[in-house]
Protein backbone atom coordinates (compact mmCIF):
# COMPACT_ATOMS: atom_id res chain seq x y z
CA UNK A 1 0.00 0.00 0.00
CA UNK A 2 1.38 3.44 -0.91
CA UNK A 3 1.92 6.05 1.80
CA UNK A 4 0.04 9.31 1.52
CA UNK A 5 1.99 12.59 1.14
CA UNK A 6 0.86 13.54 4.64
CA UNK A 7 2.34 10.42 6.20
CA UNK A 8 5.59 10.96 4.30
CA UNK A 9 5.88 14.47 5.68
CA UNK A 10 5.18 13.28 9.22
CA UNK A 11 7.80 10.56 8.87
CA UNK A 12 10.40 12.98 7.54
CA UNK A 13 9.79 15.45 10.36
CA UNK A 14 10.10 12.68 12.95
CA UNK A 15 13.32 11.44 11.36
CA UNK A 16 14.85 14.91 11.41
CA UNK A 17 13.85 15.43 15.02
CA UNK A 18 15.39 12.14 16.11
CA UNK A 19 18.70 12.36 14.27
CA UNK A 20 19.38 16.08 14.50
CA UNK A 21 22.49 15.66 12.36
CA UNK A 22 21.55 16.45 8.76
CA UNK A 23 19.23 18.56 6.67
CA UNK A 24 16.87 16.88 4.19
CA UNK A 25 17.64 18.15 0.70
CA UNK A 26 16.38 17.26 -2.73
CA UNK A 27 19.01 15.60 -4.96
CA UNK A 28 20.06 17.69 -7.93
CA UNK A 29 18.39 20.88 -6.72
CA UNK A 30 21.46 22.97 -5.92
CA UNK A 31 23.67 23.07 -2.88
CA UNK A 32 22.50 22.11 0.57
CA UNK A 33 21.62 24.99 2.92
CA UNK A 34 24.62 26.50 4.63
CA UNK A 35 25.19 24.87 8.04
CA UNK A 36 24.91 27.10 11.06
CA UNK A 37 27.66 27.24 13.67
CA UNK A 38 27.69 24.29 16.01
CA UNK A 39 26.28 24.84 19.47
CA UNK A 40 28.01 23.62 22.63
CA UNK A 41 25.69 21.63 24.85
CA UNK A 42 26.29 19.83 28.17
CA UNK A 43 27.12 16.14 27.97
CA UNK A 44 24.44 13.80 29.27
CA UNK A 45 26.66 10.91 30.41
CA UNK A 46 30.20 10.62 31.83
CA UNK A 47 32.34 7.63 32.81
CA UNK A 48 35.22 7.48 35.29
CA UNK A 49 37.45 4.64 36.50
CA UNK A 50 39.46 4.51 39.74
CA UNK A 51 42.22 1.88 40.18
CA UNK A 52 42.41 -0.48 43.15
CA UNK A 53 43.97 1.79 45.80
CA UNK A 54 46.43 -0.41 47.71
CA UNK A 55 47.17 -3.89 48.98
CA UNK A 56 48.72 -2.57 52.20
CA UNK A 57 47.08 -3.09 55.58
CA UNK A 58 48.45 0.33 56.57
CA UNK A 59 46.64 2.25 53.82
CA UNK A 60 43.69 4.60 54.30
CA UNK A 61 41.81 5.76 51.22
CA UNK A 62 39.36 8.61 50.68
CA UNK A 63 37.12 8.82 47.62
CA UNK A 64 35.65 12.19 46.66
CA UNK A 65 32.99 12.71 43.98
CA UNK A 66 32.05 16.17 42.67
CA UNK A 67 30.18 17.91 39.86
CA UNK A 68 30.46 21.71 39.56
CA UNK A 69 27.35 23.82 39.41
CA UNK A 70 26.46 24.50 35.78
CA UNK A 71 23.86 25.66 33.34
CA UNK A 72 22.50 22.23 32.42
CA UNK A 73 18.70 22.00 32.58
CA UNK A 74 18.58 18.27 31.83
CA UNK A 75 17.28 15.49 34.04
CA UNK A 76 18.40 15.36 37.67
CA UNK A 77 20.57 12.28 37.06
CA UNK A 78 22.94 10.39 39.36
CA UNK A 79 26.69 9.89 39.77
CA UNK A 80 27.86 6.62 41.29
CA UNK A 81 31.17 4.84 41.81
CA UNK A 82 30.59 1.09 41.98
CA UNK A 83 33.03 -1.73 42.82
CA UNK A 84 34.47 -3.66 39.91
CA UNK A 85 33.93 -7.42 39.74
CA UNK A 86 36.69 -9.28 41.61
CA UNK A 87 38.75 -11.76 39.60
CA UNK A 88 38.76 -15.43 40.72
CA UNK A 89 41.82 -16.35 42.80
CA UNK A 90 43.16 -18.81 40.20
CA UNK A 91 43.12 -16.15 37.48
CA UNK A 92 45.25 -13.52 39.19
CA UNK A 93 47.75 -13.54 36.33
CA UNK A 94 45.91 -11.62 33.57
CA UNK A 95 48.65 -12.25 31.01
CA UNK A 96 47.73 -15.93 31.08
CA UNK A 97 44.08 -15.39 30.12
CA UNK A 98 44.32 -14.44 26.49
CA UNK A 99 41.76 -16.52 24.65
CA UNK A 100 38.06 -15.89 24.36
CA UNK A 101 37.05 -19.25 25.83
CA UNK A 102 38.94 -18.62 29.05
CA UNK A 103 37.44 -15.14 29.24
CA UNK A 104 33.96 -16.68 29.10
CA UNK A 105 34.88 -19.10 31.89
CA UNK A 106 36.07 -16.19 34.02
CA UNK A 107 32.83 -14.33 33.49
CA UNK A 108 30.74 -17.33 34.58
CA UNK A 109 32.85 -17.88 37.67
CA UNK A 110 32.72 -14.18 38.58
CA UNK A 111 28.93 -14.30 38.57
CA UNK A 112 29.01 -17.22 41.02
CA UNK A 113 31.70 -15.77 43.28
CA UNK A 114 30.38 -12.23 43.47
CA UNK A 115 29.73 -11.28 47.07
CA UNK A 116 26.26 -10.19 48.17
CA UNK A 117 25.97 -6.42 47.97
CA UNK A 118 29.10 -6.10 45.84
CA UNK A 119 27.19 -3.91 43.38
CA UNK A 120 26.26 -1.37 46.08
CA UNK A 121 27.76 2.03 45.20
CA UNK A 122 30.81 3.09 47.20
CA UNK A 123 30.06 6.77 46.59
CA UNK A 124 26.78 8.31 45.41
CA UNK A 125 26.55 11.97 44.39
CA UNK A 126 23.06 13.50 44.21
CA UNK A 127 23.64 17.26 43.94
CA UNK A 128 26.01 19.50 41.99
CA UNK A 129 28.22 22.02 43.78
CA UNK A 130 28.94 19.94 46.89
CA UNK A 131 31.34 16.98 47.08
CA UNK A 132 30.55 13.62 48.64
CA UNK A 133 33.20 11.46 50.27
CA UNK A 134 33.69 7.86 51.43
CA UNK A 135 36.58 6.13 53.23
CA UNK A 136 38.06 2.65 53.29
CA UNK A 137 41.02 0.96 54.97
CA UNK A 138 40.47 -2.44 53.33
CA UNK A 139 43.60 -3.93 51.78
CA UNK A 140 41.49 -5.64 49.10
CA UNK A 141 39.43 -2.57 48.14
CA UNK A 142 38.54 -3.01 44.46
CA UNK A 143 38.83 -0.70 41.49
CA UNK A 144 35.74 1.46 40.99
CA UNK A 145 33.65 1.95 37.85
CA UNK A 146 31.62 5.13 37.73
CA UNK A 147 28.84 6.66 35.66
CA UNK A 148 27.20 10.08 35.90
CA UNK A 149 24.04 11.08 34.06
CA UNK A 150 21.81 14.10 33.58
CA UNK A 151 22.80 17.33 35.33
CA UNK A 152 25.58 15.55 37.22
CA UNK A 153 27.42 14.42 34.08
CA UNK A 154 28.99 17.71 32.83
CA UNK A 155 32.31 18.22 34.58
CA UNK A 156 31.98 15.22 36.91
CA UNK A 157 35.27 14.44 38.63
CA UNK A 158 36.38 11.95 41.28
CA UNK A 159 39.56 11.77 43.34
CA UNK A 160 41.09 8.76 45.04
CA UNK A 161 43.61 9.64 47.76
CA UNK A 162 45.50 6.99 49.71
CA UNK A 163 47.80 7.57 52.68
CA UNK A 164 50.26 4.76 53.44
CA UNK A 165 52.16 5.69 56.58
CA UNK A 166 54.90 3.04 56.42
CA UNK A 167 56.42 0.30 54.32
CA UNK A 168 58.14 0.29 50.93
CA UNK A 169 55.10 1.89 49.29
CA UNK A 170 54.68 4.61 51.91
CA UNK A 171 53.48 7.95 50.66
CA UNK A 172 50.47 9.99 49.64
CA UNK A 173 49.02 8.52 46.44
CA UNK A 174 46.47 10.67 44.65
CA UNK A 175 44.76 10.17 41.32
CA UNK A 176 41.93 11.88 39.51
CA UNK A 177 39.84 8.96 38.30
CA UNK A 178 40.21 8.65 34.53
CA UNK A 179 37.87 8.24 31.57
CA UNK A 180 38.11 5.02 29.54
CA UNK A 181 40.10 5.17 26.31
CA UNK A 182 42.07 3.03 23.85
CA UNK A 183 45.54 4.64 23.87
CA UNK A 184 47.76 5.83 26.78
CA UNK A 185 51.38 7.02 27.12
CA UNK A 186 53.23 6.90 30.47
CA UNK A 187 56.77 8.35 30.37
CA UNK A 188 58.45 7.95 33.76
CA UNK A 189 57.87 4.35 34.83
CA UNK A 190 60.76 1.98 35.54
CA UNK A 191 61.85 -1.66 35.63
CA UNK A 192 64.98 -1.27 37.79
CA UNK A 193 65.46 -3.39 40.92
CA UNK A 194 64.50 -0.43 43.11
CA UNK A 195 61.10 -0.10 41.42
CA UNK A 196 57.81 -1.87 42.03
CA UNK A 197 55.67 -0.19 39.35
CA UNK A 198 52.28 -1.59 38.40
CA UNK A 199 50.07 -0.72 35.44
CA UNK A 200 46.39 -0.94 36.37
CA UNK A 201 43.84 -1.67 33.62
CA UNK A 202 40.10 -1.34 34.34
CA UNK A 203 37.38 -2.38 31.89
CA UNK A 204 34.04 -0.54 32.39
CA UNK A 205 32.07 -2.46 29.76
CA UNK A 206 30.06 -5.67 29.68
CA UNK A 207 32.38 -7.37 27.20
CA UNK A 208 36.05 -8.29 27.62
CA UNK A 209 38.78 -5.90 26.48
CA UNK A 210 42.14 -7.02 25.07
CA UNK A 211 45.13 -4.75 25.67
CA UNK A 212 48.78 -4.61 24.63
CA UNK A 213 51.58 -3.04 26.70
CA UNK A 214 54.77 -1.83 25.02
CA UNK A 215 57.86 -0.71 26.95
CA UNK A 216 60.50 1.69 25.60
CA UNK A 217 63.84 2.42 27.25
CA UNK A 218 66.75 4.71 26.31
CA UNK A 219 67.86 2.23 23.61
CA UNK A 220 64.40 1.58 22.15
CA UNK A 221 61.75 -1.09 22.61
CA UNK A 222 62.26 -3.56 25.46
CA UNK A 223 61.63 -7.21 24.70
CA UNK A 224 58.26 -8.05 26.27
CA UNK A 225 56.16 -10.99 25.11
CA UNK A 226 54.16 -10.96 28.35
CA UNK A 227 52.66 -7.57 27.45
CA UNK A 228 50.75 -8.82 24.42
CA UNK A 229 47.07 -9.79 24.30
CA UNK A 230 46.15 -9.13 27.93
CA UNK A 231 42.50 -9.93 28.59
CA UNK A 232 40.66 -7.60 30.96
CA UNK A 233 37.35 -9.29 31.84
CA UNK A 234 34.06 -7.35 31.79
CA UNK A 235 33.70 -4.73 34.53
CA UNK A 236 36.94 -5.91 36.13
CA UNK A 237 40.43 -4.63 36.77
CA UNK A 238 43.89 -6.19 36.50
CA UNK A 239 47.26 -4.98 37.76
CA UNK A 240 50.55 -6.03 36.16
CA UNK A 241 53.97 -5.59 37.74
CA UNK A 242 55.90 -3.81 35.01
CA UNK A 243 59.36 -5.28 35.80
CA UNK A 244 57.91 -8.77 35.17
CA UNK A 245 56.96 -7.83 31.60
CA UNK A 246 60.61 -7.68 30.52
CA UNK A 247 64.00 -9.03 31.59
CA UNK A 248 65.67 -5.65 31.06
CA UNK A 249 66.22 -3.42 34.11
CA UNK A 250 65.91 0.26 33.16
CA UNK A 251 65.48 3.37 35.31
CA UNK A 252 63.38 5.40 32.84
CA UNK A 253 60.76 3.60 30.77
CA UNK A 254 57.88 4.82 28.64
CA UNK A 255 54.83 2.55 28.89
CA UNK A 256 52.39 2.48 25.97
CA UNK A 257 48.98 0.90 26.54
CA UNK A 258 46.63 0.25 23.62
CA UNK A 259 43.56 -1.92 23.18
CA UNK A 260 42.83 -4.36 20.37
CA UNK A 261 39.21 -4.61 21.41
CA UNK A 262 37.21 -2.60 23.90
CA UNK A 263 38.46 0.24 26.05
CA UNK A 264 40.06 0.55 29.47
CA UNK A 265 41.10 3.02 32.09
CA UNK A 266 44.86 2.91 32.58
CA UNK A 267 47.13 4.36 35.26
CA UNK A 268 50.56 3.42 36.65
CA UNK A 269 51.32 3.11 40.37
CA UNK A 270 54.98 3.94 40.96
CA UNK A 271 56.81 2.73 44.09
CA UNK A 272 60.50 3.41 44.70
CA UNK A 273 62.48 1.86 47.53
CA UNK A 274 63.24 4.48 50.20
CA UNK A 275 61.73 7.28 48.08
CA UNK A 276 57.96 6.90 48.23
CA UNK A 277 55.14 6.17 45.83
CA UNK A 278 52.38 7.84 43.83
CA UNK A 279 50.17 7.42 40.78
CA UNK A 280 51.46 8.34 37.32
CA UNK A 281 48.62 9.29 34.99
CA UNK A 282 48.91 9.39 31.21
CA UNK A 283 50.55 12.26 29.40
CA UNK A 284 48.33 14.31 27.14
CA UNK A 285 48.28 13.15 23.49
CA UNK A 286 51.59 13.54 21.61
CA UNK A 287 52.11 17.20 20.66
CA UNK A 288 54.89 19.50 19.46
CA UNK A 289 54.53 21.78 22.50
CA UNK A 290 53.80 20.49 26.00
CA UNK A 291 53.24 22.12 29.39
CA UNK A 292 53.93 20.33 32.70
CA UNK A 293 52.51 22.64 35.39
CA UNK A 294 52.99 22.99 39.12
CA UNK A 295 56.48 22.11 40.38
CA UNK A 296 56.43 22.94 44.12
CA UNK A 297 58.70 25.77 45.21
CA UNK A 298 60.57 23.50 47.64
CA UNK A 299 61.27 20.69 45.15
CA UNK A 300 64.72 19.23 45.80
CA UNK A 301 64.91 17.32 42.51
CA UNK A 302 63.08 17.46 39.17
CA UNK A 303 63.59 14.70 36.60
CA UNK A 304 62.17 15.09 33.07
CA UNK A 305 61.30 12.01 30.99
CA UNK A 306 60.19 12.41 27.35
CA UNK A 307 59.45 10.15 24.38
CA UNK A 308 58.93 10.67 20.63
CA UNK A 309 56.46 8.02 19.40
CA UNK A 310 56.78 8.83 15.69
CA UNK A 311 59.42 7.96 13.10
CA UNK A 312 61.36 11.23 13.50
CA UNK A 313 63.69 12.42 16.24
CA UNK A 314 62.65 15.48 18.25
CA UNK A 315 64.73 18.43 19.41
CA UNK A 316 62.92 20.46 22.05
CA UNK A 317 63.63 23.59 24.04
CA UNK A 318 63.32 23.10 27.79
CA UNK A 319 62.05 26.22 29.55
CA UNK A 320 61.01 26.93 33.11
CA UNK A 321 58.10 29.30 33.54
CA UNK A 322 58.84 30.72 36.97
CA UNK A 323 57.27 33.21 39.29
CA UNK A 324 58.28 36.27 37.25
CA UNK A 325 59.57 35.14 33.86
CA UNK A 326 60.47 32.27 31.52
CA UNK A 327 64.08 31.09 31.30
CA UNK A 328 66.13 28.10 30.15
CA UNK A 329 67.82 25.92 32.79
CA UNK A 330 71.59 26.37 32.57
CA UNK A 331 73.14 23.46 30.67
CA UNK A 332 69.77 21.86 29.97
CA UNK A 333 68.16 24.32 27.59
CA UNK A 334 67.54 21.66 24.90
CA UNK A 335 66.83 17.93 24.81
CA UNK A 336 67.35 15.55 21.90
CA UNK A 337 64.79 12.72 21.85
CA UNK A 338 65.52 9.88 19.46
CA UNK A 339 62.58 8.26 17.70
CA UNK A 340 60.93 5.61 19.89
CA UNK A 341 63.61 5.93 22.57
CA UNK A 342 63.05 7.34 26.05
CA UNK A 343 65.11 10.43 26.86
CA UNK A 344 65.57 11.96 30.29
CA UNK A 345 67.39 14.79 32.00
CA UNK A 346 67.95 15.61 35.67
CA UNK A 347 67.00 19.25 36.21
CA UNK A 348 67.94 19.04 39.91
CA UNK A 349 66.51 21.87 42.05
CA UNK A 350 65.65 23.92 38.96
CA UNK A 351 63.01 26.08 40.67
CA UNK A 352 65.48 27.57 43.18
CA UNK A 353 62.85 28.07 45.87
CA UNK A 354 60.13 29.43 43.60
CA UNK A 355 57.15 27.64 41.99
CA UNK A 356 57.50 26.78 38.33
CA UNK A 357 56.28 24.83 35.31
CA UNK A 358 58.13 23.23 32.39
CA UNK A 359 57.38 24.01 28.76
CA UNK A 360 58.73 21.86 25.92
CA UNK A 361 58.64 23.34 22.41
CA UNK A 362 60.38 22.71 19.05
CA UNK A 363 63.89 24.09 18.68
CA UNK A 364 63.30 25.05 15.04
CA UNK A 365 60.01 25.55 13.23
CA UNK A 366 57.69 22.60 13.02
CA UNK A 367 58.49 19.97 15.57
CA UNK A 368 57.91 16.29 16.24
CA UNK A 369 55.08 15.30 18.60
CA UNK A 370 56.29 14.05 21.99
CA UNK A 371 54.91 12.95 25.36
CA UNK A 372 56.49 13.77 28.73
CA UNK A 373 56.26 13.66 32.52
CA UNK A 374 58.16 14.99 35.53
CA UNK A 375 59.31 13.06 38.59
CA UNK A 376 59.39 15.57 41.44
CA UNK A 377 61.08 15.02 44.82
CA UNK A 378 60.52 16.97 48.02
CA UNK A 379 62.67 16.41 51.10
CA UNK A 380 65.94 14.52 51.38
CA UNK A 381 67.23 11.19 52.63
CA UNK A 382 64.75 9.14 54.63
CA UNK A 383 62.24 12.00 54.53
CA UNK A 384 62.04 12.38 50.76
CA UNK A 385 58.79 11.83 48.88
CA UNK A 386 57.97 11.65 45.16
CA UNK A 387 55.11 12.74 42.90
CA UNK A 388 54.56 12.86 39.14
CA UNK A 389 53.39 15.66 36.84
CA UNK A 390 52.44 14.51 33.32
CA UNK A 391 52.11 16.92 30.40
CA UNK A 392 48.53 18.15 30.38
CA UNK A 393 46.11 20.14 28.29
CA UNK A 394 44.83 23.62 29.22
CA UNK A 395 41.99 24.32 31.64
CA UNK A 396 39.86 25.57 28.74
CA UNK A 397 36.34 26.54 29.70
CA UNK A 398 36.43 24.71 33.03
CA UNK A 399 38.33 22.13 35.07
CA UNK A 400 37.88 20.78 38.58
CA UNK A 401 39.84 18.81 41.15
CA UNK A 402 38.33 17.15 44.21
CA UNK A 403 39.62 16.32 47.71
CA UNK A 404 40.99 19.64 48.86
CA UNK A 405 41.43 20.19 52.57
CA UNK A 406 41.52 23.10 55.00
CA UNK A 407 45.31 22.83 55.04
CA UNK A 408 47.74 21.44 52.50
CA UNK A 409 46.12 22.39 49.16
CA UNK A 410 48.03 24.61 46.72
CA UNK A 411 46.88 25.59 43.21
CA UNK A 412 49.39 26.32 40.43
CA UNK A 413 48.31 28.37 37.40
CA UNK A 414 50.54 28.74 34.33
CA UNK A 415 50.02 30.96 31.27
CA UNK A 416 52.57 29.87 28.63
CA UNK A 417 51.45 32.56 26.18
CA UNK A 418 49.21 35.54 26.80
CA UNK A 419 48.36 36.91 30.22
CA UNK A 420 45.14 35.33 31.45
CA UNK A 421 42.43 35.91 34.03
CA UNK A 422 40.85 32.92 35.75
CA UNK A 423 38.02 32.43 38.21
CA UNK A 424 38.63 29.92 41.01
CA UNK A 425 35.64 28.55 42.94
CA UNK A 426 36.08 26.68 46.19
CA UNK A 427 32.93 24.58 46.52
CA UNK A 428 30.81 24.07 49.58
CA UNK A 429 32.36 21.57 51.99
CA UNK A 430 31.35 17.93 52.01
CA UNK A 431 30.01 18.36 55.55
CA UNK A 432 29.20 22.06 55.56
CA UNK A 433 30.30 25.53 54.51
CA UNK A 434 29.59 28.02 51.73
CA UNK A 435 31.47 28.34 48.46
CA UNK A 436 33.91 31.15 47.80
CA UNK A 437 34.91 32.67 44.45
CA UNK A 438 38.10 34.55 43.66
CA UNK A 439 39.68 35.86 40.46
CA UNK A 440 43.40 35.70 39.66
CA UNK A 441 45.52 37.22 36.89
CA UNK A 442 48.34 35.04 35.56
CA UNK A 443 51.05 36.95 33.73
CA UNK A 444 52.11 35.45 30.41
CA UNK A 445 55.15 33.18 30.65
CA UNK A 446 54.88 32.73 34.41
CA UNK A 447 53.53 30.38 37.07
CA UNK A 448 51.29 31.70 39.84
CA UNK A 449 51.06 29.58 42.99
CA UNK A 450 48.11 30.35 45.26
CA UNK A 451 46.68 28.93 48.45
CA UNK A 452 42.95 28.73 47.70
CA UNK A 453 40.56 30.70 49.84
CA UNK A 454 38.71 27.91 51.63
CA UNK A 455 34.91 27.91 51.84
CA UNK A 456 33.52 29.93 54.72
CA UNK A 457 32.55 27.67 57.62
CA UNK A 458 34.26 24.70 55.94
CA UNK A 459 33.59 21.24 57.30
CA UNK A 460 35.04 18.24 55.50
CA UNK A 461 36.73 18.50 52.12
CA UNK A 462 35.98 20.71 49.13
CA UNK A 463 36.55 20.89 45.38
CA UNK A 464 38.26 23.54 43.28
CA UNK A 465 36.89 24.64 39.90
CA UNK A 466 38.95 26.83 37.56
CA UNK A 467 37.37 28.75 34.68
CA UNK A 468 39.27 30.78 32.08
CA UNK A 469 37.79 34.27 31.91
CA UNK A 470 40.06 35.92 29.34
CA UNK A 471 43.44 35.57 27.65
CA UNK A 472 45.25 32.31 28.05
CA UNK A 473 45.51 29.43 27.59
CA UNK A 474 46.05 28.44 31.23
CA UNK A 475 47.43 25.12 32.50
CA UNK A 476 46.86 24.14 36.12
CA UNK A 477 47.64 21.58 38.80
CA UNK A 478 46.85 21.07 42.47
CA UNK A 479 49.38 19.89 45.05
CA UNK A 480 47.98 18.20 48.17
CA UNK A 481 50.33 17.76 51.13
CA UNK A 482 49.81 15.63 54.25
CA UNK A 483 52.49 15.35 56.94
CA UNK A 484 52.97 11.85 58.37
CA UNK A 485 55.85 10.85 60.66
CA UNK A 486 57.72 14.05 59.92
CA UNK A 487 57.54 13.44 56.15
CA UNK A 488 55.79 15.93 53.86
CA UNK A 489 53.91 13.42 51.74
CA UNK A 490 52.44 15.01 48.63
CA UNK A 491 50.65 14.32 45.36
CA UNK A 492 49.98 16.47 42.28
CA UNK A 493 46.88 16.34 40.05
CA UNK A 494 46.61 18.25 36.77
CA UNK A 495 43.44 20.08 35.68
CA UNK A 496 42.75 19.66 31.95
CA UNK A 497 39.42 20.81 30.48
CA UNK A 498 36.66 18.63 31.93
CA UNK A 499 34.95 18.09 28.56
CA UNK A 500 31.62 18.99 30.11
CA UNK A 501 30.24 20.27 26.82
CA UNK A 502 30.30 18.94 23.27
CA UNK A 503 29.70 20.56 19.90
CA UNK A 504 26.31 19.70 18.41
CA UNK A 505 25.87 20.76 14.76
CA UNK A 506 23.01 23.11 14.04
CA UNK A 507 20.63 21.75 11.37
CA UNK A 508 17.78 22.93 9.21
CA UNK A 509 14.90 20.89 7.90
CA UNK A 510 14.34 20.93 4.14
CA UNK A 511 11.20 19.08 3.09
CA UNK A 512 11.55 19.97 -0.59
CA UNK A 513 12.73 16.41 -1.14
CA UNK A 514 9.08 15.43 -0.74
CA UNK A 515 7.92 17.65 -3.60
CA UNK A 516 7.15 16.04 -6.94
Looking at the predicted structure, is the pLDDT value of residue 393 above 50? yes
Looking at the predicted structure, is the pLDDT value of residue 6 above 80? no
pLDDT single digits (tens) 254-298: 999 999 999 999 999 999 998 999 999 999 999 999 999 999 999
Distance CA 197, CA 244 (A): 10
Domain extent listing, the chain? 5-42+505-514, 46-280, 290-390, 399-483
Looking at the predicted structure, is the pLDDT value of residue 497 above 80? yes
Q: Under CATH, to which class is 46-280 assigned?
A: mainly beta
User: 221: exposed, middle or buried (C-beta count within 10 Å: 0-12, 13-18, 19+)?
Assistant: middle
**Is the CA virtual torsion 329, 333, 336, 340 positive or negative?**
positive
Residue 87 — very low, low, confident or very high, per pLDDT cuts 50/70/90? confident
pLDDT single digits (tens) 9-45: 334 333 333 333 333 333 444 454 555 667 889 999 9
Residues 6+ apart with CB under 8 A from 335: 304, 306, 315, 316, 318, 343, 345, 360
> pLDDT at position 70, please?
82
Distance CA 313, CA 364 (A): 13
> pLDDT at position 72, please?
60
Question: DSSP secondary structure string, 318-331?
Answer: EEEE-SS-EEPPTT
pLDDT single digits (tens) 293-321: 999 999 999 999 999 999 999 999 999 99
Average pLDDT, rounded, for the chain: 88
> pLDDT at position 76, please?
85
**Is the CA virtual torsion 364, 366, 371, 376 positive or negative?**
positive
Equal fold, 290-390 vs 399-483: yes
> pLDDT at position 111, please?
45
> pLDDT at position 443, please?
98
pLDDT single digits (tens) 401-430: 999 999 999 999 999 999 999 999 999 999
> pLDDT at position 515, please?
58
> pLDDT at position 35, please?
53
> pLDDT at position 503, please?
84
Which CATH code is given to the segment(s) 399-483? 2.60.290.11
What is each CA distance from 203 to 182, 237, 278, 291, in whole angstroms? 11, 6, 22, 29
Question: Lowest-confidence range among 245-249, 264-268, 502-506?
Answer: 502-506
* Length, in residues, of the chain: 516
Q: Do 60 and 489 meet the contact criterion of CB atoms below 8 Å apart? A: no
* Helix extents (H) in 79-138: 100-113
pTM of the model: 0.87
pLDDT single digits (tens) 433-465: 999 999 999 999 999 999 999 999 999 999 999
> pLDDT at position 136, please?
97
Distance CA 398, CA 300 (A): 32
**290-390 topology per CATH:** Hypothetical Protein Tm1070; Chain: A (2.60.290)
pLDDT single digits (tens) 324-375: 999 999 999 999 999 999 999 999 999 989 999 999 999 998 899 999 999 9
Amino acid sequence: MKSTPLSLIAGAVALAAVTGFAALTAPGEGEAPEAKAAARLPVERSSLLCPAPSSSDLADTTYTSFTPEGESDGEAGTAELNPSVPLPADDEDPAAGKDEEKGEEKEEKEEKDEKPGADKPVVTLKDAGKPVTADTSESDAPALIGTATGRLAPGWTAQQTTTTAAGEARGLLGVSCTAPDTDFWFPGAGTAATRQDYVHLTNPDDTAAVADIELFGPEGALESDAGEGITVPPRSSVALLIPTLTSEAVDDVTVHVTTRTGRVGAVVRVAENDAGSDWLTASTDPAETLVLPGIPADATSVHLVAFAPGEDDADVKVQLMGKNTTFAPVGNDTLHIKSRMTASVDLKDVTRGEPGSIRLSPVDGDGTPVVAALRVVRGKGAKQEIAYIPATGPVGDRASVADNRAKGSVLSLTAPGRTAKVEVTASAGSEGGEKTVKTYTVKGGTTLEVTPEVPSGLKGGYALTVRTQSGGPVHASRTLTVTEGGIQMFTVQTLPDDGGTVEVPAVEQDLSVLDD
